[in-house]
Structure formats: C-alpha cells, structure tokens
Structure 1
Amino acid sequence: MIRNYFKTAYRSLKKNKGFTAINVLGLSVGLATCLLIVFYVVDELSYDRYNTKADSIYRITETARLNGNEQVFAGSEKPLLYATKDLPEFEKQARFIPVNTLFLSAQKFRIKKGNNDIQEKNIVYTDSRIFDIFTLPAIGGKPALDEPHTAVITQSTAQKYFNTNDVVGKTLTINDTSFYKITAVIKDVPTQSHFNYDFFLSYSSIPESTRGGWGYGGVHNYVMLKPGANIKKLESEMQAIAYKHYPESMHTNGNYLTYTLTPLLDIHLHSIAQYELMEKGSIQYVYIFSVIAIFILLIACVNFMNLATARSSNRAREVGVRKVLGSARKYLILQFLTESVLVTLVSTVIAVLLAWLLMPFFNQLAVKHLAFTLSSMLWLIPSLLLIVVVIGFLAGSYPAFFLSAFQPIEVLKGKLSTGFRGSFLRSFLVVFQFSISIFLIIGTLVIYNQLKFIHNKNLGFNRDQVLIIKNTAVLGNQAKILKQEIKQMSGVLSATMSTYLPTGEDRNVTGLFPALPIDIKQDVLSDFWPVDEDYINTLGIKLIAGRNFSPRMASDSSGLIVNEAFVKRFGFKDPLNKTVYRFSFGLQAFHIVGVMKDFNFSSLRDQIKPVALVYNEDRGSVTARVSTANLSGLIAQIENKWKNFSPNQQFSYSFMDEDFDATYRAEQRIGTLFISFSTLAILIACLGLFGLAAYAAEQRTKEIGIRKVLGASVSTIVNMLSMDFIRLVFIAIIIASPLAWYAMNRWLQDFAYRTNIQWWVLAAAGCMAVLIAFATISFQSIRAALANPVTSLRNE
C-alpha cells in the first residue's frame, strides 16, 4: 500500500515537472539558507559552553557613576579578589590581567624565535587557579603558575616556536631580558570563547609596584560560586567591602560604585561593559538573523503551499474519479500528504548538500569556523526530520482535507470553482509573503545607507594615503632613526611614531583629576596617548585652540593636547594652560597646550570619549603620509631601510583606510549577511510568484483565447493577468512599511552617529517590490498573451 502511494506520488510529480521543479528549488534554497543561519546562531549561543562548570562561573563587572557619568567596565580592581576571598559562597577565584591594562600598556611583548623577534598580543598574566575554573586541558606538564617567570602556552604556540608539543621545561625569551620557564602545554582555547590567549604568564612575575590597587581597574576577576549562592547578597557584600577602601564621596551625592556578577554564558552576547577581552557578539543580531531564518522558511513554505493549493483544483476530477472507483477519503488524504512529504524530503536532501557546499563561502563571509560535525548531527538530523514532516503536512493539508471532502457527482459535473481570483487563502499567502519581502527590502536599504554613512563620515582625521609600518617595537632604539630616515624620503609628506592610532586596537585609559588634593569622585577616565610632534600633522587632525607640541619647548614634556570631549567632560571654559593630575607611580601634573577637534577613534555606535595626547617618546608603529606617485617604489625603499636595521625581522605594513574598514568590519559583515539573506528571500518569493502566474495563465487560457479573437491586444491581456497580483503587492506595501520603519529605526538607535530613514527609502522599497513582482508576472503573462487562440479554443 505504502509503495503504491509513493509510486502514484512520483507519477503525479513527474507529470507536473515545472511546478515540481519550482517547489523543490524554492524549498531547497530556503532550507539551505536557514541551515546556514541556524549554524551561525548556534555558534553564537555556544560561546564559553565548552567549560564543564560554565553555569557556576561569573565575572565581576564594575559600574561606576561619578559626577553624573556612568560607565560599565569588564574589569575591576586587582585587590577585590583578595578582599572578598573569605566570602563563603565563593568556591574558587582567579583573574586575568591583560597586557593592555592601564598599568602595563607601555609594554611590548617580543618573543624570541631563533634569531627573530615576533611581537605578540594574545598574552595574559594570571595564576594557576584559572585552570581550575576554565576547562583548558593540558596535553603536557601541569599548569603551574605559582612561581615567578613561569608560563603555560597553547598547543599551536608550542608548534609555532618549537615545532613540537614537548616543550615543558624549555624557556621563552621575552623582550630579550625576561625568561619564562614553560610548565605546561594546553589545548588551544576554543574559538567559541570570550578570551583567546596563547601565553599565560605567572601573575607573580609582575613587579609589585605596577600591580595597581584600589582605583586601578582593568583586572578581569572570575569566581566560581557554590550551589545555591545568593547572587544579589554577594553583590551587596562586595560593594560594602569596596566602600571600606574608598572615600565617602564615592557613594554620596549621586555617586556610586557597584559590582555585579555577570554569568560567563552572558558575556559574549549580553555584555554592555567596556574593555572586553575580545570583540563582543550581539544578541540583537542573533535575534535578527533568527527572524530572517524564520522569514525565509515561511516564504519557502508559502511558495509550496500556494502552488499546492493552486494545483488542487486541477486535481478535483482526479479525486472524483477515485471516489467513484471506491477510494475512501482517508486513502485520498494519505495520497496527497505522501506527495507533499516526498517533495519536502527531496528538497531537504538537496538543501543539506547545498549548505555543505556553501559552508566555506559562508565561513569566509561571517568569519566563522562552522562545519558539519558529529555533534551538530545530533541536533540537525532530528530537526530536519521534524521539518520534513511539518512542512509536508502543512503544504499537503489543504488539498488532502479540502478536496477529499467533495462529492464525486458534483466534481464530475464541473461544479467545483477553479477560478484563481476566488481563492482567499492564496491571496492571503501572497500578501504575507510579499510583506516579508518588502520588510527585508527596507531593512536592506537602511543597512546599506548606514554602512555608506559610516564609510563616508568625516571622522575628524584624514585616513587616506597613510602608510603604517607595523611592529617597529622590535627595532628597539633604532625605531626612531627609521622614522627620521623615512621622513627624508621623496614621496613622504610627514611621519610620526606612536602605538596609538585612531584606527588601531591599542588603547591606554587613565584617570585624570582637575585639582589638588586628589578627590577620587572627580576622576575622569580619558584615553592617554604618548605621541610626538608630528602626530597631529601626519593624521590631519585639526587644532582649534593653542598649539602643537614642539621639541624646542622643554615644558612640553608635561604638555597635553586634548579633544573637545575632554574639555566638555572637565567643564573647562578656557582650557589652555589648565593643569590636570594623574597618579601613576607618583603624582604627575600636566598642562594643556592645545585643543583639537573631536575625532572618532572607536565604533560609531559610541559617543566620542575624552582623549589626551601627551608629548612623549613611544616606540610604536611608524606612520607616514605618502604621495600616491610611485607608491610601490616607496614601499620597497622603506623595506630596504628596515632590512638594514633588522634583516631577520619581518617587514609588514598596512594602510590606514584599510585598518579603518577593519574597525567597522563587524558592522559591514553583519550588513553583508543581512543583504545576502534578504536577496535570497526575495528571489524565493519571486520563484513562487512565477509559479502562481504560470498557473493563473493556465487557468485562464480559454478566456485569453476568446479575448484575443474579440480583438484584445497583448498589453490588455498582460494588464488583466498582472493586476490581480499587483493589487496584493500594494496591500503588502501598506502592511510592511510601518513595521519595517519601526524595526529599523530601533536598530539605528544603537549608533551614536547614524543616518535617518528618509521617506524615499519606503518609496523605493515599494517601487522595487512592484517592479520585481511585475517583471516576474510579465514573463508568464506575455507568454500567455502571445499564444495562438486557435490552440486554446480548438475543443470548444
């Protein structure tokens, strides 16, 4: 019996090859796209879940409000763990001290490999307890960091520097002066982690004088809680302990300092804290892509259901004949459902193959490492089987239950209406489908405009024709000589040397105070960048008051050039010659010699923050503004100079505009993914509309023939066949436009600097939808209108 169902289903599908092909193509492309999105979403939701005790691990996140300015920090004070070690709810405690924290930011880490020095960034100071909290299994040795100058490295790092995993007991040479004994090799940190370190150095290696104290944040403190711990109570206790070490002004007059225990599994997607260890994800984007996946699946299913219901009237006589020959209703229902499930099954198999083939391209686009693994199969196969059954039954339910209920005598007399325009269900599904498509078109236009706005915005500095020579720290004292020689080259307009660039990753944040004695409630956090006298000119930053640094002014060693946000934050009406103070290895005083126009040095999602340039030697990257004439020759000349200084060190460079694009790569990547998925959704919707238009033309073949005999023109017939669909598209425009405007306006609110949704975006989306629909329908309409009327009327 079952075999007969499949045999009959196969024959029926083969008989209608065109409709079957449209169904299979639309459904397989839709399912393949959904699979890729599901892999992306699952990957984002899997961050840090590799830890066996992830549910018990928390990070201490600090929120400080001072003088009306509230900021949330991923790090907190170094002494906090020691001060709270006796809290009974804490089972284990450990900390990460990244090398870019404010009291270590000046350090550059060069690891010796043979005769070469390799500059590394994925380095952290910690202690052995971190391996008791996080699941970082050792493949050699025992992760011990209790002794000074000990290190644990990852497997790939061992291969990189020693070409073997058997490195326990060997020595790492850092900056030519520090020697670390390797105590263990661990497996590489999983990519789905909120940190990604290659070198774990012993915390006790940090000199006591540079470890910081209360008021110096940047330490990422982690705790493992005992079962049943009261989190709110713990947070209050930590706050009370901290207040014992701060003046009363920290928690009066609207100021406060609070600590929250952030669940480990919330850090990647839900954290709003500054200075995370890695680029954060966004739960908002997870929701957006999940909705897009649902939209695409719905569009593909609507295609399937629409064509199934459209074809159902053609099969009414088949149902009547089967009933006359004795077929029971339940067998007819099973027959229709079998056909539907068979199409869904074939489409699903093709979808899996498509997703597998497209996975490398998708990984490149999304910067992921997704793959069909054994663990993914455990949830994928049951999910796919469920999809096959659900979609198959939904698409086949209308013809199965509706047509099988007809009386055979009525059907065979031709009393069943086959008119296309009379189907409310099909009209509703077309409106629903195009509402989603128009929503996605508007979203695509808004995202494109925002990305264009980001790319074209005047950032306050000139990023064009700026060459950055990287890793100059490996040259030591010769880096400054290299800069001077580059300045003398033909084609170089100016050159500067600093680690801190607006498009770079390095940041140095410090606390500054407007007056003495130091009152911690007046602490203002500001970026604090050591630069030289050529920095302003090379980057094209505009001075609006005061002057630039000068090597002839001895007092400039304590001078600052600050931005407008700095002046506003301190409340200075006349900032020139004002003095601000910093406490770092003793009290330091700085006077303001110039004010520069605000420039963007972080994501456009954030307001511009205070930044102060300090006149100080920094062996960072050499950055040069260059002429485009004979650029390749100039780069070759610089490389030759580099090799004269250090023949064994690799020469590398980039251009600032490329680095800028990298800064906003996350937004661009998400935008590209959204646009790609939206385009696929629209194409799938058009595929379904194409099938419906073909069916509508087929249903009205005799009417078209009669109209042509009576003198109707081709344009009249095309207009007649198209208007039914175009009306539905206009209804979809009315429904989708306000919903899309609201949703995309909410998305734009995340950007401090953003474009607005103009009226023409909605109008353009509507016009695009109408044009796409008309173009799709016109092919079938023109084909029907050009057909010979004799053929359609021959049997009448």
Structure 2
Amino acid sequence: MIQNYFKIALRNLWKNRLFSLINIFGMSVGMACVVILILFAQKCLTFDEFHAHSDRIYYIQTEINDQKHEKTVYPILEQLQKNYPEIEAGTHIQTWYLPWIHYGTKDLQESTVFVDSTFFQIFSFPLKYGTPTTALKGHHSIVISEKIAQNLFGNINPLGKTVTLDDTLQFKVSGVLEPIPSNSSQQFEVVLPTHLLFSLPDFKKRANWFNIFSPVFVLLKKGTDPKALEAKLPHIVKNHFVPESRDNSLHLSKFKHFIHNQNPTFKGLIYGAIAIAVFLLLIISINLINLNMASALPRLKEVAVKQVIGATRSVILKQFWLEAGIVMLLSLWFSGFFAKYYLIPSFNQLREGHMQLDISLEHDYPTIVIILSISLLVTFVAGTYPAYYLMQLKTTEAVKGKISSNPQRGRFRQNSLIVLQFVLAVMLIVGTLGLRQQINFMKTTALGYDKNNVLVFNTNLDYRNSSTALSAGRVVLDELRQNPNVESFCTSTLTPVKYWYNFNEYYPAKNPNQSVRILHASTFENYFETYQIPFIEGRSFLDNSADSANHNIIINEAAMRAFGWKTAVGKQLRQQNDPTIYTVIGVTKNFHYQNLKESIEPLLHWYAGKQKLSNFLTIRLKDPAKASTLIKTVEARFKNIPSRRPLSHFYLSDELAKTYRPIDSIWQMISFVTLLAILIACAGIFGLISLVAKQRTKEIGIRKALGASVTNIVAMLSGQFLQLVGIALGISLPISYWLGQKLLETFAYRTQLQWWYLIFVAIFALIIALVSVSFQALRAALNNPVESLKTD
C-alpha cells in the first residue's frame, strides 16, 4: 500500500510539475530564510548559556541617578569575597589596553582581557591545551586563542613556550582556547592576569572606590538567594565608597542579561527577526496551500472514485500528506544547502564579525527541532486542506468531474488566504521602505560639523621610541603648516565619528548638589576649527600654557542646558572626587558624536596641552583632487619613525558611513525577505487563479460562445483578484503605517513615514497582482469554448 502511495504521489507531482517546481522553489528559499532568522534568534536568546554554571553567574551593576551601569569600582571584588561567604568565586574582566606579543620574528596585537586566577572556575571557555583550574595560577601565565597559537607557533602544542609582552615582560603559555562561541558576550584572543595592570600608573590611580569602570562577575554558591545577597550590598557602599558616591546603589544582575543591558536595542532585533520569520512562514505556508489546492482540483474524479469503491478518509488523507511531505522534504534539503552555502556566508559578511552564524547538530539542535516541527505542521495543513475540500464535494457530481458544493464557501476560504498573504507582504514592503527612509535621513541630515574634504590619519602606531616619535611628529606638523593644500589640521585622541563612553559627574564649583553626568574627552588646539564645529559663545583652545594651567574647558549646548544656564563662559565646574576647578571658556553648538540613533548628551572637552602626535591627525583639504600627493608625503615621513603598526588613513565621510553599516545590513536582510515574500505571494495568486479558472471552465466557455471577448474574460477573472488585493491594502496600509511609525520612534532623531509611500506600495501591489493573474487569465480566456463546454 505504501508503495502505491509513493507511485501515485510521484505521478501526480510530475503531472503538475509546474506547480511542484513553484512549490519547491518557494518553500526552499522561504524555509532557508526562516532557518537563518530562527537560528539568529536562538543564538541571541541563548547568549552566554553555554557556561556550565550560567544560572549562578551574576555581575555587579552600579546605579547612579536612576541610571544603571554594567560596571562598578575595581576594589569591590575583594570586599565581596571577604564579607559574603555566599560568593564561591569572582573575577574582573578588564580590557585596559592591548599588549604586543612577541615570539621569534613575529609581533601581534589582539583583543585582550585581564582577569583573576578564578576566571575559568566561573566561565566554561574550553581549552584545547592546558588545564582550566591551573591555567592562570602563575603571575606570568598567558592563555591564548587557537588562532594566535597557530600564528606564533604553527601546529605544535605551545604549552610552556615563553613569549615577550611589550618588549620587556616574559610570560609562559599556560593554555590555548578553543574557538569561543559566537553567542558569548565575552570575545577575546588573549587572557592575562589582572595584577599586570597595577604596573600601569594610570590604572593604579583609577582603581579606587570612586571610578566606575570595572566589570565584576561572581559565581554564587548553590542555594544562594540573590535577592538576599543584594540586600546586603548597601553595607559595601556605606563603608567603602567615597563620600561623593554614597548615593550610588549596587545590584546583582544575572549574567545572561549582560548582553541585553549593554545593548538595550538588542531585544528589539531578536523579536524583529522572530516576527519576520513568522510573517515569512505564514506567506510560504499559504502559498503551499494555494498551490496544493490548484493542483488537487483536477484529481476530483480520482478522489470520488476512491470513495465510491470504499476508500476511507484516512486513505485519501495519507495520500495527500505524503505528496505534501515529499515537497516539504525536497524543500528542506534544498533550503539546507541554500542556507549553509549562500545565506549564512552572506549574513556573516553583512555582520562584519559580529554574531557570526554557523550550524552544528551539537549546539543548534533547538533550531533544527523547531524547523522540523514547523515543517511537519505545514505538511499536515497543506495536505489536509485540499483533501478535505475534495472529500466534502457531492460524490455523485464529483465522479463526473463537476464541482457542485457551495462555491461561495470555498471561494471565501481561498480569498481569505490570498488577502492574508498580501496583507503580510504589504506590511513587509512598508516596513522596508520606512527603514530605508530612516537610513537615508541619518546619512544626509546635518551633523553639526562638516564631514566633507576631511582626511584622517590613524597615528596611534605604537612607536618603538616615544621621544623620537615626538620630535619627528613636530616636524610633520610644521610641514603641514606650510602645505598650500592644507586648510587646517589638528591632532586628537578621537574624532567626531565616535567618542569613548567616558563619563563623570560634574557640578558647579559653588553648588555641589547640582550634578550632571557628562561625557568628557581631551583634545588639542584647532580641533573645533578643523571639524568646523561652531561656537555659541566663547572661544576654542589656544596652543599655549594658559589653557592648561587654568584648567580651561569647552562644553556643548546640551551641557549648558543641563545646568540650567543661559550663558556659560566664565562658569566653573568640578568633578566628583577631584579638587580641580575647571573654567568654561567656550560653548559649542550640539553636534552628533555618535550616529543619529542616539540622542546628543552633555559633552565636555578639556585641553590636552601643546599640539603633538596623538591617536589621530586630521587634515581639512582645500583641494581634494590633490589629496594623493599629500598622502604620499605624510606616509613618507612616517616611514622614518620606527613603529609596530603602519600608518593608515580614511576620509571622515567614509568612516561615518561605516557607523551605519549594522543598520544597513539589517535593511539588506529585510529587503531580501520582502522580495521573497512578494515573489511567493505572486506564486500564490498564480495558483489560485488556476484553481478559479478550472472551477469556472464551463462558465468561461458559455461566455465566449455568447460573444464575450478575450479582454472581457481576462477582466472578469483578474477583477476578482484585484478586489482581493484592494481589500488587503485596506487592511494592511493603516496597520503598516502605525507599525512603521513605532519602528521609527526607536531612533532619537528620525524622519516621518511619507504618505506617498503608502500610495506607491498600493500601486506596486496592484501591478504585481495584475501581472501574476494576467498569464493564467489569458490562458483560460484563449481556451477553445467547445472544449470548455465538454466539461459537463
């Protein structure tokens, strides 16, 4: 019997090979996209859960003025472990700087974390070589990634090998890491002991009970109540924090929340991926049902005859389930190849190293189980619906090939499916256009500085001799002052494209109760002039000793408003836990120092001293066409300065464009899914009009015999579907507009969804529907009416 089922299934699939190919193609591409979206969501929802003790790992949050920070003061860990036996182990994870690692003739610098010896006791990062419990016991132990081990030592086991850090420190390799999962919030290549940081004067100065800069993680003992432990933390604040910080509060937060608290928009990305997967799944499922209905209708007599000779419902259902299952199985097979060899590499390329996807049976079985469950459900529905529809027809009429059941009820079901399919497709189109509009707005809106004709050299090259670099750098700067193509230039620790998240509390020198959290940074002379950041009042820094000696500062308009001032020049400020009095000499207009997704916060610059080489050398060009000559000149000068890194450069406008790549990549992924949804919706209409044309074969023949033209027949068949699309537009456009506005509200600076977008989408939807139905409608209209009338 099973053999007969397969024979009949394969025969019918081949007989309706056009529908079968459309089905398999639509399901393959659609399911591949669903696989990627669900895999991405699964990776994100299971961030950091691969650690053996993930349910007992917590980290310390510091709350300041109702704002929670994922870091705290450095010395707190020692007191926590000393005072609270509920804590089994703890560690810092610092990313203070990137040391150079030397072995033989090779030098490299990779992402580095500084941790305590208990790091591997808390986190389950597997080692290829070495023992986790002892890997960091020695003060001069280093754990490296497999990639670094390969680069430095080749294919040998490097345990016990000695490497040199920053030309002076000898460290022994005590462990080699296996590749870190992509859904780990901690990504690094080198692990070093934290004690090394105390040899750095700047770190030692900051590692006090005031500065909030250290991520601290603890492993609680089994059975510990986190809330009860958190209730004890105010004791730490009261007895150890500096007086200025005793209004702060501490919280214990689950480690699995770390990634979401660091990136508040991350959950929106996850739920967005799930929503798009559901939308796409509905569209491809409806399409499969529609096409199955269209291909099942010619089998009316087959089903009726089987019922007459005694076939039960289960026999007929098994036949249709098997056929739907074969289509689904082939689709899954093709979708797996498409996902693995095209979509995943494309996705990873768009993400540029962030959250790279891969598929493995060991780690991604939840995704595989979900996809298989969905496939079984879709197979069941797609096989059951046409089988029940055919079995409900009158057997006496069905044996003759006639459809005499209530046609309105059947059409209502079909019409509902096509309306739902187009509602989902239109919502995706409107969302895609809205996101594209927002991206263009962010790329073209005024930033508060001039990004054009600005050439930036990255001069943070790790010079081998700092005094030599300093004197050689002055020569370079003197030559730039004489260059006729240089309008202005500056050296700086950062650029307006991106500022470090370095905050402190400032308050008026005479009013310590009025504090404002301000992002602060240092800079040199000519910074504001080179980037053409305008001033509201006051002046810029001058290259003299007075601005440094007087501790002069420049704030932005947002900072002035935060203090409630109408004028700020001459006002004096202090930082918490710092007796220095700073004097405001200028106020700049607000400018966007991060992308327009974020709002402009209070900003302060202090004077870094006499101009010298720093992280960046920025040049505003008079004639961009002559930039290549200037670049060659600067590169030639820097080749004579010994350094570990080569000089590199970029244009500020290009670097700014890079900050929008993550959201651009999201738009590209949504655009691909939207295009797919449109194609599948067209295939669904193609299948339904085939079904309708078959149901109305006799009617078409009679109309043609009575003189109806081909145009009349095409208009009759097409009109019904255009009405359905119109209904879908009436439902979807208001919902899409509302959802589009909600999407844009997640951006601090946003555009408005244009009304004419809705008109464009409506016209576009009608056109693609008309194109989809025209072929089948024309084919039905051109049939010989004599043959059509024979259907009776």
| TM-score, structure 2 normalization | 0.89
Answer yes or no: is the 8 Å Cα contact 2:557–2:587 preserved in 1.
yes
Q: Which residue of 1 aligns with 2:771?
A: 775
Q: Say yes or no: does 1:458 pair with 2:446.
A: yes
**In structure 2, what is the Cα distance between the partners aligned to 1:98 and 1:546?**
37
Distance 1:589 1:781, change over 3 A: same
Where structure 2 has 5 or more consecutive residues not aligned to the other structure, the ranges are none
Structure 1 range deviating more: 538-547 or 315-324: 315-324
Answer yes or no: is the 8 Å Cα contact 1:150–1:183 preserved in 2.
yes
Structure 1 range deviating more: 414-423 or 257-266: 414-423
Cα RMSD after superposing both structures:
3.0
Q: Deviations over 1:555-594 (max 9, x none)?
A: 355221211111122233321021222367x632221111
Where structure 1 has 5 or more consecutive residues not aligned to the other structure, the ranges are 100-106, 274-278
Distance 1:573 1:473, change over 3 A: farther
Q: Say yes or no: does 1:23 pair with 2:41.
A: no
Please list, as runs of the form range in 1=range in 2, the aligned pairs for 1:125-144 lying within 5 A after superposition: 125-138=114-127, 139-140=129-130
Q: 2:171 aligns with which of 178, 181, 189?
A: 181
Structure 1 residue 769 displacement after superposition: 1.9
**In structure 1, what is the Cα distance between the partners aligned to 2:395 and 2:251?**
71
Answer yes or no: is the 8 Å Cα contact 1:366–1:669 preserved in 2.
yes
Q: Say yes or no: does 1:662 pair with 2:655.
A: no
Q: Deviations over 1:672-691 (max 9, x none)?
A: 22222122122211111122
**In structure 2, what is the Cα distance between the partners aligned to 1:594 and 1:531?**
14
Q: Say yes or no: does 1:331 pair with 2:315.
A: yes
Q: Say yes or no: does 1:560 pair with 2:553.
A: yes
Q: Say yes or no: does 1:747 pair with 2:743.
A: yes
Q: Say yes or no: does 1:97 pair with 2:94.
A: yes
Distance 1:502 1:393, change over 3 A: same
**In structure 1, what is the Cα distance between the partners aligned to 2:89 and 2:372?**
44
Paired AA for residue 87 in structure 1: Y
Distance 1:317 1:189, change over 3 A: closer
**In structure 1, what is the Cα distance between the partners aligned to 2:140 and 2:482?**
42
Paired AA for residue 241 in structure 1: I
Distance 1:250 1:528, change over 3 A: closer
Structure 1 residue 222 displacement after superposition: 0.6
Answer yes or no: is the 8 Å Cα contact 1:472–1:479 preserved in 2.
no
Please list, as runs of the form range in 1=range in 2, the aligned pairs for 1:286-325 lying within 5 A after superposition: 286-325=270-309
Q: Say yes or no: does 1:201 pair with 2:196.
A: no
Secondary structure at the aligned position of 2:362 is classed as helix
Distance 1:788 1:499, change over 3 A: farther
Paired AA for residue 184 in structure 1: S
The aligned length equals: 768
Structure 1 range deviating more: 432-441 or 209-218: 209-218
Q: Which residue of 2 aligns with 1:365?
A: 350
Please list, as runs of the form range in 1=range in 2, the aligned pairs for 1:94-243 lying within 5 A after superposition: 94-99=91-96, 109=99, 120=109, 122-138=111-127, 139-140=129-130, 151-161=142-152, 166=158, 168=160, 170-174=162-166, 179-187=169-177, 188-205=179-196, 206-207=198-199, 209-243=204-238
Q: Say yes or no: does 1:427 pair with 2:423.
A: no
Answer yes or no: is the 8 Å Cα contact 2:158–2:173 preserved in 1.
no
**In structure 1, what is the Cα distance between the partners aligned to 2:627 and 2:159?**
44
Distance 1:110 1:312, change over 3 A: closer
Q: Say yes or no: does 1:644 pair with 2:640.
A: yes
Distance 1:266 1:397, change over 3 A: same
**In structure 1, what is the Cα distance between the partners aligned to 2:741 and 2:688?**
34
Structure 1 range deviating more: 193-202 or 606-615: 193-202
**In structure 2, what is the Cα distance between the partners aligned to 1:248 and 1:151?**
38
Q: Which residue of 2 aligns with 1:104?
A: none
**In structure 1, what is the Cα distance between the partners aligned to 2:632 and 2:775?**
57
Q: Which residue of 1 aligns with 2:72?
A: 76
Distance 1:108 1:572, change over 3 A: farther
**In structure 2, what is the Cα distance between the partners aligned to 1:281 and 1:752?**
12
Q: Deviations over 1:529-550 (max 9, x none)?
A: 2211121122121112111111
Answer yes or no: is the 8 Å Cα contact 2:492–2:617 preserved in 1.
yes
Structure 1 residue 428 displacement after superposition: 1.0
Q: Which residue of 2 aligns with 1:467?
A: 455
Structure 1 residue 221 displacement after superposition: 0.8
Structure 1 residue 14 displacement after superposition: 1.4
**In structure 2, what is the Cα distance between the partners aligned to 1:523 and 1:186?**
47
Q: Deviations over 1:371-411 (max 9, x none)?
A: 33232574455445434432222111123234335553242
Distance 1:543 1:211, change over 3 A: closer
Secondary structure at the aligned position of 1:306 is classed as helix
Q: Which residue of 2 aligns with 1:602?
A: 594
Structure 1 residue 657 displacement after superposition: 2.0
Q: Say yes or no: does 1:492 pair with 2:482.
A: no
Secondary structure at the aligned position of 2:207 is classed as coil
Secondary structure at the aligned position of 2:509 is classed as coil
Paired AA for residue 399 in structure 1: P
**In structure 1, what is the Cα distance between the partners aligned to 2:452 and 2:121?**
48
**In structure 1, what is the Cα distance between the partners aligned to 2:153 and 2:63?**
43
**In structure 1, what is the Cα distance between the partners aligned to 2:565 and 2:104?**
53
Distance 1:607 1:165, change over 3 A: farther
Paired AA for residue 504 in structure 2: T
Secondary structure at the aligned position of 1:60 is classed as strand
Answer yes or no: is the 8 Å Cα contact 1:466–1:655 preserved in 2.
yes
Distance 1:200 1:218, change over 3 A: same
Structure 1 residue 601 displacement after superposition: 1.5
| TM-score, structure 1 normalization | 0.89
**In structure 1, what is the Cα distance between the partners aligned to 2:123 and 2:643?**
41
Q: Deviations over 1:664-722 (max 9, x none)?
A: 32222222222221221222111111222233334444544444454444443332111
Distance 1:385 1:263, change over 3 A: same
Structure 1 residue 504 displacement after superposition: 3.4
Secondary structure at the aligned position of 1:513 is classed as strand
Secondary structure at the aligned position of 1:62 is classed as strand
Q: Deviations over 1:166-199 (max 9, x none)?
A: 264624332x5x5252352330543322122333
Distance 1:301 1:108, change over 3 A: closer
Paired AA for residue 155 in structure 1: E
**In structure 2, what is the Cα distance between the partners aligned to 1:306 and 1:493?**
66
Paired AA for residue 512 in structure 1: Y
**In structure 1, what is the Cα distance between the partners aligned to 2:313 and 2:785?**
39
**In structure 2, what is the Cα distance between the partners aligned to 1:341 and 1:757?**
43
